[in-house]
Amino acid sequence: LYEECLIDGRMQKALVSAAKKGTSVKLTGKDQEILHRARARLGYLFTSLRAILSDSAINFKPFVTSGWEEDGNCDALGVTHVGRLPSLTQIVPVYSEEGIMDIKELVGEPKQGAMSTMLEFLISQLPQEWKIFAQHEGMEPTELYEKLAKNECSKEQQSRLREWASHRAQSVIRTVNGAVHYHKALQLLLQRGKEVGFEDIRQHVQLIVAHQTYGKLNLGKAVHAKIQHGVLMTEGAHGLRPNDRVRLSVDTLDADGAVAQRAVAKIAEGFTAAKLRKRAKDVDEQNMEAQASDGSEPEQVARGSAGQEGLPLEQPLPAAAGMLSGLIPTMLAPVKEGEEAPEEAAREKPLKDLKTDSLESLPASPAAPRHPALLGRLWGNANKGLRGFKSGCFYTVKEVIDEQTAILTEDSVNCGTARLEKAESTRRDHDLHYMLRKHKGYPFFVAIDFQRGKVHPRLEELIDQHLASTCEAAGSLRFKHASVLIRYQDHSEEEDWPIEVVHVLPRARGLLIGSQGNLSQGKAGNQLGALRFAEGHFLQMMDANMGCYCGETFKVPIVLQGFHERLVEDCGSDHRLHLQARIIGFREHIFTREHGLVGKIMADAEWTFGTLVQRLLEFLAVRMHYGHPDFMDGFWSSNRGSVSKASPHINLSEDIFAGLNVKTRKEQSLHVDYLEWEKGREVQFLAGSGFFWKIASGSVGLLRTRDLRTLCGNASVTESFALYFATVAWYIHNVLVDVSTELFVLIFVYLTLAAKSISDLGELGSMLAAEWFLTPAFSAMLPAVIGLGIEYGPLWMIRNYMLSAPMSMIYFVFINKSMSSSVRTTFAANTAEYVNTGRPHANKSYTLMEAFRAFRSSHYTPALQLIYAITVYRLMNSDAALPMILVSFTAVVWIAAPILFQPPSKALYEQTKELVTFIAKAPSLHDRIVPGKPSSLYEAALEQELKEASQPLMLPLLWGVFICCLYFLMTTTEVFDQIWAPICSLMILFLWRTLLRWTGVKQAGMIVLIMLGLVLLMIPFTMFAVENPTPGPLLIATLVLFKFLHTTKLCIWKLFSMVLPRGSPLRYEQIVRFTFDCLGIYELQFFGALVVLFVQVPFAGLLWLLDRPPLRLRTWLLLNRRVSVGCVARIYGSSQHSKECEGVRVERI
């Protein structure tokens, strides 16, 4: 608690003293500071210990040494023999997750109009913890922040501060430190009269970070350098250090430079052509002279000769360098006994027989200037200065002379001018080395994905050296892919790579298999790569957003022994084979609850599901594995398809299949309440919506799996109900509610067309005659109300849960629509879609355009359709109509929620301008759309149309025909009289677009606005031709017309998909684009975007005004009222150092 800044030094001494004496301690007081989170941890720890001691199934008996009464020596293992303590392997898959927060990220300039720096936000959220941390550093809180902002702190202080900030965010180091807490607990528990070393701990626990991107090749900025006899010289500062690896390659030079001009002059003199003729003895010299005697320029002669013999001097030098790197090493390779020298073989062999197939596969850069003189010089000097050089290879820096000169270890390298690129280690590598160094005394390993040629050359050397030292035939081993296990080793001579290779397992294929767009799951592959090195009997799969309080780790041995059916003191010999469960789960504490309003809402929802629901699912015997840090039977999982599945479009929710595997094989998945692990959740609105979109899409993939079909096929009716609620019930229910909302409004529109009013429904006694406000959805709050009220007390539940319930309801009205849209979209597309949320911080804002692109089709368009249908109903029933308050509120929330939950930002004008530009940008009439990167509303809407056109069309077409027939039979003549107004408007649009296509004039944004304005004016003009024009029938007529156009569009798509031959996507895309342009689809999207713009921008402006000082209501609601630039000094007051500086008087001289 003291190290995590949850208690101060005085409270630490009081707790230690009370523990030694066996007395009580008061967790309050003015002189002793203890945070609420520390009190909650201590309270749960002692409560869970009482539960363990009173559980007869555990039958815990403490191990007491002699003299326990005097020294208080007792441990949590009890009478269990150390040899029976189950071994555990902890696996943390990592890809691009943040290791440790960077100083620039913490105190750098706020981006995207943020209200403060990242560190100021964390301090404003956790002011007491920052105060305690400053006490640890021996400074005042404001003084510490100011020194850090001015870069006056030492590297050690910066490292400790980065770790403090990372522990209050979702980072890898938080997960690693939490896992190592168990190592430290075992180190204490195993000390029964003996020293506990590395191997003693390794027999019981092992931590593997499966880092998929560790050691990947990262090249610095390329510069040109001159290399002569191993001496490297650059024009500017090279920034090299001893033992650095640099890649040297023959590259193009500047065409305007003097070197290139001299090279062209040499070619003109025939110098290079003469050298090439001398090297190629089999070339017909008479033909060369005949060509030269015809009056051809020497440059043309050299080019023609090279073209005949397979040496294309016209090839740009990057490709030519690749050719030389293949030919020259062949000539300079060592000669074995009985073989002909490669150089002599090359001389005896015609140049045209030297294959250059690899040259054709290399991409030629058209912008790269040609430099044939360099090619001739390299070819001519192959036996002299290029014996130790190979283009594109890495060389080691031996010594640095000055800022522009360095010496390579290969002193024979002499290639003139070359391209120099330094191999640099990434920030992720440094962060991981910091973690390894911090926990170097514990069994902490890293499993990496090795790909030869794509990793840092030093890492490749270490792996080859390990193979050479462990395998006699390592010299002939050359593999491309391998899984490699490394650990920390302090190399005094090399600080950048303090690692030791432990194991190397070559693989036939890469970690991810499949083609682009169909690659296997990265997380599943990462877990499998680490599973090959697992030594423990049991596994714990943790994501990189978890952690653990050190006090909880002392209970892990008791939970692990729960896999066995025997009692603790039983000494049966077959207990390791007879397990009562394959998975054991436990409670979760969501530590991101303190990160703003969205973090609190997500934490309450995750706690309800991860703790309360899991208890019920265990009672129903259908508890699965949902990405929680559960314990698993390692040997069983390794022999039954790993702990997750990796098919990209089916197994998107890869973790749940471990639970399905357990249930299918008639095994058990248990849940215990006396162990709690920490977990993070999304704390930003956009990321939270993306997370729920992903898991909802994964639920559709789950419905398509053989696992679920096999499981349900062998289950009873009651078991099927339980499985339904344990897997996809939540997502299917959201779809049903969403569809019911749409049908609810359309039913009243249809009743209006049938001349049935709300009074007629009341006379029939129908429940549709009244609107309900207290819906069954409120029952979803009961589990959290009861659970939180019992565990934390009614006052805490009211203050921390009930007060945020209204905002939580608004949030989940939007999120439920995200899940419904995801399920419906995945059903139509027949493929699950992965969404990378990135887990941004709570104060990181997003722009209006980012929200518009994310929610345009999933939320904004359905909301506008609901509002349009409600408007039609109210206009047609002005006398007596159902208010439809809840439905209208739902539609407004779908549009306004992204603005309401948007983190405070100062850049409202820039965001509005960006969104207006995106909407009003001129549509491109001929350019192809780049998938996933629309630059305008036209491209985004057209991309959506292309996706819909590529999906199965028969069911949507039949449904559209049915609705059209329904409208045709129900619509009155009054409505059909009004339909001419929108038809005339569409005809004008069609003629206008035809004119633009015929003239080839590009549409400007203003022309689009003028065109749409003409359409708006055309509607009232055409209404003069209609007898008794009214707005209600006109809106219904427009609705009917666009439904007919939508069905017509589907008919055209279906017809041409059958007529056009397969393999002609371009022609089909032209048909889709034609319907998109000529049937008013883009104009409809444009009008909808304008409505969204006119709703969101004023609302955002109102929230911006309410957020001005001194109110700051929006910041107080979403984050806290303290956060702002310079808030540290306002929270704690100015530091003594600042006061002294302010008191200094400067006299004018």
Query: What is the chain's mean pLDDT, rounded?
Result: 80
The DSSP 8-state label assigned to residue 455 in this structure reads: B
Q: What is the pLDDT of residues 959-974, one digit of tens each?
A: 999 989 988 888 777 7
HEC string of 991-1040 equals: HHHHHHHHHCCCCCHHHHHHHHHHHHHHHHHHHCCCCCCCHHHHHHHHHH
Is residue 893 very low, low, confident or very high in pLDDT (cuts 50, 70, 90)?
very high
Neighbours of 109 (CB within 10 A): 8
Give the pLDDT confidence score for residue 856 in this predicted structure. Answer: 94
The CA distance from 418 to 787, in Å, is: 69
The CA distance from 799 to 1070, in Å, is: 59
Q: What is the sign of the dihedral through the CA atoms of 1007, 1013, 1015 and 1021?
A: negative
Is residue 316 very low, low, confident or very high in pLDDT (cuts 50, 70, 90)?
very low
Check: CB of residue 552 under 8 Å from CB of residue 676. yes
Is residue 177 very low, low, confident or very high in pLDDT (cuts 50, 70, 90)?
very high
The larger pLDDT score, comparing residue 477 to residue 149, is at 149
The CA distance from 184 to 730, in Å, is: 40
Give the pLDDT confidence score for residue 58 in this predicted structure. Answer: 79
The larger pLDDT score, comparing residue 891 to residue 784, is at 891
pTM of the model: 0.83
Structure tokens at 903: 């983190």
The DSSP 8-state label assigned to residue 283 in this structure reads: S
Tell whether the model's pLDDT for residue 891 goes beyond 90.
Answer: yes
Is residue 975 very low, low, confident or very high in pLDDT (cuts 50, 70, 90)?
confident
Tell whether the model's pLDDT for residue 850 goes beyond 90.
Answer: yes
Tell whether the model's pLDDT for residue 19 goes beyond 60.
Answer: yes
Token pair 């539609």 is at which residue? 891
- Residue 94: left if φ>0, alpha if ψ -120 to 50, beta else—which one? beta
What are the CA-CA distances from residue 456 to residues 246, 259, 452, 453 (Å)? Answer: 10, 33, 9, 8
Tell whether the model's pLDDT for residue 575 goes beyond 70.
Answer: no
Average pLDDT over residues 1072-1101: 89
Tell whether the model's pLDDT for residue 382 goes beyond 50.
Answer: no
Q: What is the pLDDT of residues 123-135, one digit of tens each?
A: 999 999 999 999 9
Tell whether the model's pLDDT for residue 333 goes beyond 70.
Answer: no
Tell whether the model's pLDDT for residue 324 goes beyond 80.
Answer: no
Q: What is the pLDDT of residues 648-705, one digit of tens each?
A: 788 888 888 888 888 888 889 999 999 999 999 999 999 999 999 999 998 898 888 8
Give the pLDDT confidence score for residue 849 in this predicted structure. Answer: 93
User: 247 has which bridge partners?
Assistant: 394, 421
Task: Give DSSP secondary structure letters for 354-420.
Answer: S--HHHHHSPPPTTSPP-HHHHHHHHHTTTTT-TT--TTEEEEEEEEEETTEEEES-TT---EEEEE
Give the pLDDT confidence score for residue 771 in this predicted structure. Answer: 81
What are the CA-CA distances from residue 627 to residues 643, 654, 681, 1126 (Å)? Answer: 10, 8, 12, 39
Task: Give DSSP secondary structure letters for 1099-1110.
Answer: HHHHHHHHTSTT
Give me the long-range contacts of 262-271 (CB less than 8 A, separation at least 24): 262/373, 263/371, 263/372, 263/373, 263/374, 264/299, 264/373, 266/373, 267/298, 267/299, 267/302, 267/372, 267/373, 268/297, 268/298, 268/299, 269/298, 270/298, 270/301, 270/302
Is residue 1015 very low, low, confident or very high in pLDDT (cuts 50, 70, 90)?
low
Average pLDDT over residues 350-364: 36
Tell whether the model's pLDDT for residue 728 goes beyond 50.
Answer: yes
Structure tokens at 1100: 């955002």
- Residue 366: left if φ>0, alpha if ψ -120 to 50, beta else—which one? alpha
Is residue 142 very low, low, confident or very high in pLDDT (cuts 50, 70, 90)?
very high
Percent of the chain with pLDDT over 70: 79
Q: What is the pLDDT of residues 252-305, one digit of tens each?
A: 434 343 444 444 445 445 544 555 555 555 444 544 454 444 444 444 433 343
Token pair 């510069």 is at which residue? 223
1110 cis-preceded (ω within 30 degrees of 0): yes
Give the pLDDT confidence score for residue 387 in this predicted structure. Answer: 52
The CA distance from 506 to 887, in Å, is: 59
Please state the φ and ψ torsions of residue 228, each to the nearest 5 degrees. -135, 120
Give the pLDDT confidence score for residue 355 in this predicted structure. Answer: 36
Tell whether the model's pLDDT for residue 90 goes beyond 90.
Answer: yes
The CA distance from 1007 to 1019, in Å, is: 19
The larger pLDDT score, comparing residue 208 to residue 1013, is at 208
Look at the chain and count its residues: 1149
Is residue 351 very low, low, confident or very high in pLDDT (cuts 50, 70, 90)?
very low
